[in-house]
Chains A and B, each alone.
Chain A
Amino acid sequence: MNLARGFRRMLAALSLAGFAALMSGCTDRMIVLNPKGVVGRHQLDLIVITTILCLVVIVPVIVMAFVFAWRYRSRNGGKADYRPDWEHNSKLETVWWGIPIVIIAILAAITVRYSHLLEPSRPLESEAEPLVIQVTSLDYKWLFQYPEQGIATVNYVEFPAGVPVRFELTSDAPMNSFWIPQLGGQIYTMSGMAMKLNLMADEPGTYMGSGANFSGEDFAKMRFDARAVTEKEFDHWVEQIKATAPALTDQGYDELARPGAMGTQDYSSIPEGLFDRIVNKYAHGAGHSHGGAAQAETDTDPDLGNQHDMDDMAGMSGMEHHH
């Protein structure tokens, strides 16, 4: 038992030291707990609510487990009660079926409400018109297109703070996931689909973004900066790119889509309809496209004859892409 005691002391000391280190250094780095956007803030609220509700149950359980283990230890010399045949008590059992049921019921109600509130395709409430940014995950880089501004960037994205941003996301490579923790949770990018994610930054700043889902060899290099700036700075930035950066051509896109990691890049113009073509690339590729493959939301999709099939697929994967 000496050994055990020694270890327990060591564990206590280590955990105290670890806790101190955490409190001093990491709190501001725990970016999920430090949201800078409305979506992230709601998600943090949820995390806090869930944690508290769970602790209500598990703290007493852990305390009881260790108190009972101590109190009824046989080394106590048999001073405590011993009831070897006591195996059932309806009242007690009702209580501990009841407590988790009540807690889970509360949590379920909250979850259902927030699932609708935070549905990523749902537009955010704001007086400002949303800015549309079309995101494509490639092997191993991010392409951001600004259809309204007619520009594009690679591996960084910029937008005004205080303005809702509607990200439309697809992939021209194995699926990835688009995540800017401080603004709000992630959504997958998948070929043949245009997913939607609405986010808004409260204040200017540079926020970390990443490709969260494993997509192959160099996917660890798919981190990007998300820069929230003032509207004035944003307009200025757009003008500057238009004036100085090269154009993105179809051929340029094909080169970009080849596997490989790279730094950042700007483009002063984008080919007409490039994003829709990426979304539909695989649907048209093999010549016999079915509803499943054409599971894309595009305003210019010539394949809308397949509307019925697409509805079926929407039912299956629950994509909300008909408005």
Chain B
Amino acid sequence: MDRIKEFASTFFVTGDPLIYGADVAIVATMAAVVFVLTYFKKWTWLWREWLTTVDHKRIGIMYVVASLLMLFRGGVDALLMRTQLAVPNNQFLQPEHYNEIFTTHGVIMILFMAMPLMFGLFNLVVPLQIGARDVAFPFLNSLSFWLFFFGAMLFNVSFVIGGSPNAGWLAYPPLSEKMFNPGVGQDFYIWGIQISGIGSLMTGINFIVTILKMRAPGMKLMKMPMFTWSVLSSCLTIIMAFPILTVTLALLFIDRYLGAHFFTLDAGGNPMMYINLIWMWGHPEVYIVVLPAFGIMSEIVSTFSRKRLFGYKSMVFALMCISVFSFFTWAHHFFTMGSGADVNAFFAVTTMIIAIPTGVKVFNWVFTMYRGRISFPTPMLWVMGFILCFVVGGMTGVMLSVAPADFQFHNSYFLIAHFHQVLIGGVAFAYFAALTYWWPKVFGFKLNEKLGKWAFWFWNVGFYICFMPQYVLGLMGMTRRISHYGWDTGWWELNLVSTVGGFLMGIAFLFQVWQIMHSIKFMERDATGDPWDGRTLEWSLPSPVPHYNFAVVPTVDSRDAWWEEKLRRERGEAPAPQPKLEPIHMPKNSGIPIIMALCWFVAGFGFVFDWLWMAIPGLVGVAVCMLVYSFSYKTDYYIPVDEIERTEAAARGAV
């Protein structure tokens, strides 16, 4: 009995009322979910329609839902930190707790919020934009999602079991090594990211192949919609960058688990090696999430200006430049580690060079609006918010890139303000724009405009109130990651202001949740399938899109294919004769991805606690899943013509 008690006291995180509150909330939520599913007899539905689906649209929806949940958790982390920093010498959080919170905030926001939201948008939009019926590898797509999901869950479990990681979002050694970090938190970090990282890499491969091989006939590369281009550049960056992350974390794991010394000084390792490696992934990673944002901006600005995107070729060239140059800037994250003047100068200049194509893109958006006929529903408002915020964030980025000046910015709140400005103002604003823009395509109804505008203004006002003071705090010498500061520093007024801004963004999030709830309840069905008067192929389909996407694969002869088609119809030109419907070849659903990812979760959990009796069966399960899938031959089926006709009639009947 005592042994069980002792085990439980180290296994479960104890001692903090916040944690107990979370324990109760987690158990209650899970019980509620199980109850609802059982009561309404929805288990089979859930399994058949969602958990085993290989449909890119449903996988996209699951990515979005999961990422919004993670946005909630990451956001709560942020508000806890801001509460702690609101006044000097605050006792709200102890240092060890604060250190865990900023670590999980960073990891969750980048890897488990921004990345899956991005993958969700890839899934929801890309196949429809290029006239494909699914992605190139639908089974792999489902596996990617479940690996992300269980990786994220493994990471989040550390909140209540074992203890959270606390060495910062990039886990620099030696602090992340066994010597200074003997607990399991760091192992949760390694395995959570490793498992979801495999999924990210596979998604990258999947979308590259999809975009290169599955475009509708006639859609030359230079006729692709700009969002698809941005996804291609982002995925190319993924497949180059993510293997570096996998190797780096594997080496850190070997250090911790087998006592190797890759990143410890004794026995000849070197922490600098880790710092170089992690940023060789880490810097491209921020471009991975921001490149699709550029694509989103391009689509929305052109749609709501009712005008072709200005400078298409420049845009493509700029995207590809950024994708390549993002691999030559990593050392700008540690100008102050004594790399010497020549190395610093080199990386400073490569960093500045990225500002050139980025600047060109902004010019092109602005000139897309020039002589347009611009309307301002919520997605376009986000574009305006994005341009202002991102341009200023870009400017402070250039300031940071000047290596000798960075000696005064590094590790300070100036830096914190900068990267939040580009990640919130750049990435998050763009993704919110994308969600409201493509929402009617996915669900068949628009989100409520009024609540959306409230959310927009709260986000924007909150953002500036939160982060503008942080630039000043950086110039006042306030450094990042400190859990408290004294009255003598003179930092508290601006910290208080910043906290107020943080909570305004929290309210903005609530408005978004309300907006979604309200819209689900009081929605007006969009019967047109094209509520924004769109330009690209996805708007030619009914909403929500039938599961085979295109009854007949379209032939494309221009960039804004759907817009041109609409113009032709307006001019009264006879539409091209529709070819006869043919049976559609589709992939079958599969339960293997979720089971395999669950096995990874079990294996990862076993490695975290060094329980080989658990890790080995987990890995065996993974191998068995692979074998079973290798020998299953009935993975596809055909939709007969009469079913297509019926579905189309029902979907178009609404038109």
Residues of A within 8 A of B (CB): 3-4, 7, 10-11, 14-15, 18, 21-22, 25-26, 29-33, 40, 42-43, 46-47, 50-51, 54-55, 57-58, 61-62, 64-66, 68-69, 72-75, 78, 80-88, 92-93, 96-97, 99-101, 104, 107-108, 110-112, 114-121, 174-175, 177, 179, 181, 184-188, 190-193, 195-196, 208, 210-220, 282-283, 285-286, 288-293, 295, 313, 316-320
Contact A319-B374, Cβ < 8 Å, known A50-B398, A286-B267 = no
Q: Report the separation of the CA atoms of residues A42 and B366 in the bound assembly, to the nearest whole angstrom.
A: 36
Chain B residues in 8 Å Cβ range of A118: 404, 407
CB distance from B466 to the nearest CB of A (A): 12
Closest Cβ neighbor of A47 among chain B residues: B405
Contact A46-B402, Cβ < 8 Å, known A30-B476, A74-B374 = yes
Chain A residues in 8 Å Cβ range of B180: 174, 216
B457 touches A93 (CB 8 A): no
Interface string of B307-349 (1 = CB under 8 A from A): 1111111100000000000000000001011111111110011
Q: List 11 A-B contacts (CB under 8 A).
A: A30-B475, A51-B395, A65-B365, A84-B307, A184-B407, A187-B336, A190-B272, A217-B95, A286-B267, A293-B267, A313-B270
CB distance from A205 to the nearest CB of B (A): 14
B362 touches A61 (CB 8 A): yes
A111 touches B308 (CB 8 A): no
Chain B residues in 8 Å Cβ range of A283: 265
Chain B residues in 8 Å Cβ range of A196: 338
Which of B134-142, B351-359, B583-591, B628-636 touches A? B351-359
Given contacts A31-B477, A84-B373, 4 further A-B contacts (CB under 8 A): A65-B362, A210-B479, A220-B484, A285-B265
Closest Cβ neighbor of B494 among chain A residues: A26
How many inter-chain contacts with C-beta < 8 Å in the A-B complex?
Answer: 328
B337 touches A97 (CB 8 A): no
A112 touches B349 (CB 8 A): yes
CB distance from B623 to the nearest CB of A (A): 37
Closest Cβ neighbor of A294 among chain B residues: B268
B306 at the interface (CB under 8 A from A): yes
B42 at the interface (CB under 8 A from A): no
B376 at the interface (CB under 8 A from A): yes
Contact A282-B266, Cβ < 8 Å, known A118-B407, A217-B99, A320-B338 = yes
Chain B residues in 8 Å Cβ range of A107: 352, 398, 402
A86 touches B404 (CB 8 A): no
Chain A residues in 8 Å Cβ range of B480: 212, 214
Which residue from B269, B309, B310, B474 sits with its C-beta under 8 Å from A293?
A: B269
Closest 7 interchain pairs by CB? A185-B407, A318-B340, A290-B268, A282-B265, A318-B339, A220-B482, A87-B308
Interface string of B457-478 (1 = CB under 8 A from A): 1001100110011001011110
Contact A212-B349, Cβ < 8 Å, known A86-B371, A190-B337, A288-B267 = no
Closest Cβ neighbor of A86 among chain B residues: B371
Chain A residues in 8 Å Cβ range of B306: 74, 82, 84
Interface string of B73-104 (1 = CB under 8 A from A): 00000000000000000000001100100000
A286 touches B404 (CB 8 A): no
Chain B residues in 8 Å Cβ range of A220: 95, 481-485
B360 touches A97 (CB 8 A): yes
A108 touches B349 (CB 8 A): yes
CB distance from A314 to the nearest CB of B (A): 9
Chain A residues in 8 Å Cβ range of B411: 177, 179, 186, 212-213
Interface string of B479-522 (1 = CB under 8 A from A): 11111110001100110010000000000000000000000000
Interface size class of B (residues with CB under 8 A): 35 or more
B168 at the interface (CB under 8 A from A): yes
B340 touches A320 (CB 8 A): yes
Closest Cβ neighbor of B481 among chain A residues: A214
Q: Report the separation of the CA atoms of residues A321 and B484 in the bound assembly, to the nearest whole angstrom.
A: 36
Contact A115-B341, Cβ < 8 Å, known A46-B404, A107-B352 = yes
The winner among B266, B313, B454, B469 for most chain A CB atoms within 10 A is B266
Residues of B within 8 A of A (CB): 95-96, 99, 168, 172, 174-175, 180, 261, 264-272, 305-314, 334, 336-345, 348-349, 352-353, 355-356, 359-360, 362-367, 369-376, 384, 387-388, 391-392, 394-395, 398-399, 401-408, 410-412, 450, 453-454, 457, 460-461, 464-465, 468-469, 472, 474-477, 479-485, 489-490, 493-494, 497
Contact A195-B338, Cβ < 8 Å, known A31-B475, A212-B412 = yes
Closest Cβ neighbor of A261 among chain B residues: B95
Closest Cβ neighbor of A174 among chain B residues: B175
Chain A residues in 8 Å Cβ range of B348: 108, 111-112, 115
Which residue from A30, A42, A73, A78 sits with its C-beta under 8 Å from B376?
A: A73
A51 touches B399 (CB 8 A): yes
Which residue from B172, B374, B405 sits with its C-beta under 8 Å from A69?
A: B374
Contact A188-B398, Cβ < 8 Å, known A30-B476, A107-B352, A115-B345 = no
Q: Report the separation of the CA atoms of residues A43 and B489 in the bound assembly, to the nearest whole angstrom.
A: 22
CB distance from B419 to the nearest CB of A (A): 15
Which residue from A51, A58, A78, A191 sits with its C-beta under 8 Å from B265?
A: A191
Q: Report the separation of the CA atoms of residues A82 and B493 in the bound assembly, to the nearest whole angstrom.
A: 49
B339 touches A317 (CB 8 A): yes
Closest Cβ neighbor of A73 among chain B residues: B374
Chain A residues in 8 Å Cβ range of B311: 87-88, 93
CB distance from B451 to the nearest CB of A (A): 11
Chain A residues in 8 Å Cβ range of B410: 177, 185-186, 212
A69 touches B457 (CB 8 A): no
A115 touches B337 (CB 8 A): no
Chain B residues in 8 Å Cβ range of A218: 95
B402 touches A192 (CB 8 A): no
CB distance from B328 to the nearest CB of A (A): 14
The winner among A11, A69, A179 for most chain B CB atoms within 10 A is A69
Q: Report the separation of the CA atoms of residues A82 and B305 in the bound assembly, to the nearest whole angstrom.
A: 10
CB distance from A312 to the nearest CB of B (A): 12
CB distance from B19 to the nearest CB of A (A): 18
Closest Cβ neighbor of A40 among chain B residues: B408
Chain B residues in 8 Å Cβ range of A18: 468-469, 497
Which residue from A7, A61, A88 sits with its C-beta under 8 Å from B457?
A: A7
Chain B residues in 8 Å Cβ range of A42: 404
CB distance from A36 to the nearest CB of B (A): 13
Q: Report the separation of the CA atoms of residues A179 and B374 in the bound assembly, to the nearest whole angstrom.
A: 49
A64 touches B338 (CB 8 A): no
B355 touches A62 (CB 8 A): no
CB distance from A262 to the nearest CB of B (A): 15
B175 touches A216 (CB 8 A): yes
B391 touches A100 (CB 8 A): no
